[in-house]
A = this chain, B = another copy of it.
Amino acid sequence: MTTPTSTATLLQSLRQPILRELEQFNEYFRKQLRSHVFLLDLILRYLIRQKGKQIRPLLVFLSAKAAGEITERTYIGATMVELLHTATLVHDDVVDQAEVRRGMASIRAVWKNKAAVLVGDFLLARGLLIAVENHAYDLLQVTSQAVKRMSEGELRQMQRAKLLELDEQSYFDVIRDKTASLIATCCEIGALSAGASPEVRQHLREYGEAVGTAFQIRDDLLDFLSQPSILGKPIGNDVQERKITLPLLYALRTAPAKERRRVLKMIKRSQRNGKMFTEIQQFVQEYGGIYYANQVAEQLITQAKAHLATLPPSNARTALETFADFVLQRGA
């Protein structure tokens, strides 16, 4: 395995082929995020300062460039996905009562839940409206489908937790809907904005679907690793919330019945404490859950790269390959 590069350095290198465009994007994005309602404008300004890594717009631009040319429609598409992603984060923070987002106080922490729910709704409407205003109905079709899938994925995840569902199929359905659908959308609308052929569009979408799925698997896997500092968030959260993710699913499937029952009992009781979680970690490690999940993620990245290989070589294509590798290295 290659030496892990820091996320910031790596993202910086991915931005290289499209530095100028991303600057213009930020300008465009800021212009879209204005309101004549003073309070709303204030919150939108705050959200702009709270800017994240902008992975989704990055994927839109790289996909457009890998598929052909960046166009005006690429900016529209990138703005849409960033608005919709931001909307879901603002709503997530309401739901999770989160105080902090991207190193700043969350919207709900500063302006309360009511404003946060409304701002989220505004961002959802604004994101879709940009497409309507620009008659970008093909981008709209793909993106509104993703918004629907994202909420379905989260709700399916709640259902799995409630019923303690243990089948792998429903796990994959959840992560494809809640995470991969928007990543795939980024790549597809990048291709669409560049006027790519249906084949290129499909390959980029499938690249995104595979990378997005691998991304979530790695995220779920990192929750079982022992150093909380890596993620910058506490470990074992998923188990506490009865989210049974791939490493644990696999371990439960391969462990002897008695072991399986013991661990399931621990999960059901939700008796989370350091000791219990350490036991679950050991269980997952012992029955090959970490190894298995890593393997699945690697296979997905191999598939993702195969889709890329159908495109002509370019520095944008190389950046998308690097991004795929980065997903596997993240937090390793």
A97-131: contact bitstring with B at CB < 8 Å (1 yes, 0 no)?
A: 00000000000000001110111111011101100
Q: In the assembled complex, how far is the CB of residue A264 from the closest CB belonging to chain B, in whole angstroms?
A: 21
Partner of A148, one of B129, B159, B162: B129
**CB-nearest residue of chain B relative to A151?**
B122
Q: What is the CB-to-nearest-CB distance from A93 to chain B, in angstroms, rounded to a whole number?
A: 10
Q: A141 vs B117: C-alpha distance in the bound complex, in angstroms? A: 22
Q: Which of A4-50 contact B (CB under 8 A)?
A: 35, 37-40, 43
Query: What separation, in Å, do the CA atoms of A94 and B144 have in the docked complex?
Result: 23
Are A159 and B38 in touch, CB under 8 angstroms? yes
Point out the residue from B115, B120, B124, B132 that lies within 8 Å of A158, measured CB to CB.
B115
The residue that A147 contacts in the complex, of B94, B125, B147, B155, with Cβ under 8 A, is B125
**A330 CB-CB contact with B under 8 Å:** no
A290 to chain B, nearest CB (A): 29
Instruction: Count copies of this chain in the complex.
Output: 2
User: Chain A interface: which size bin?
Assistant: 35 or more
B113 touches A152 (CB 8 A): no
Q: Which of B122, B124, B162 contacts A152 (CB under 8 A)? A: B122
Is B40 in contact with A152, judged by CB distance below 8 angstroms? yes
Is the contact region of chain A dominated by helix, strand, or loop, or is it mixed? helix
A148 contacts B126, CB within 8 Å?
yes
A260 close to chain B: CB less than 8 A: no
> Which of B121, B155, B159 is close to A124, meaning CB atoms less than 8 Å apart?
B121
A129 CB contacts on chain B under 8 angstroms: 144-145, 148
With A113-B95, A117-B117, A156-B39 as contacts: A151 and B137 at CB distance below 8 Å: no
Between A and B, 23 residue pairs with Cβ closer than 8 Å are: A37-B156, A38-B156, A39-B158, A40-B151, A40-B155, A40-B156, A94-B113, A95-B113, A96-B114, A114-B158, A115-B158, A117-B117, A118-B154, A119-B151, A120-B121, A121-B151, A122-B148, A122-B155, A125-B144, A125-B151, A129-B148, A132-B140, A135-B137
Where the two chains meet, the residues of A that have a C-beta atom closer than 8 Å to any C-beta of B are 35, 37-40, 43, 87-88, 91, 94-96, 113-115, 117-122, 124-126, 128-129, 132-133, 135, 137, 140-141, 144-145, 147-148, 150-152, 154-156, 158-159, 162
Q: Known pairs A35-B152, A95-B113, A117-B120; list 4 more (Cβ under 8 Å).
A: A43-B155, A119-B155, A122-B151, A124-B124
Q: Which A-B residue pairs are the 6 nearest by beta carbons?
A: A39-B159, A125-B147, A122-B151, A125-B148, A95-B114, A121-B151
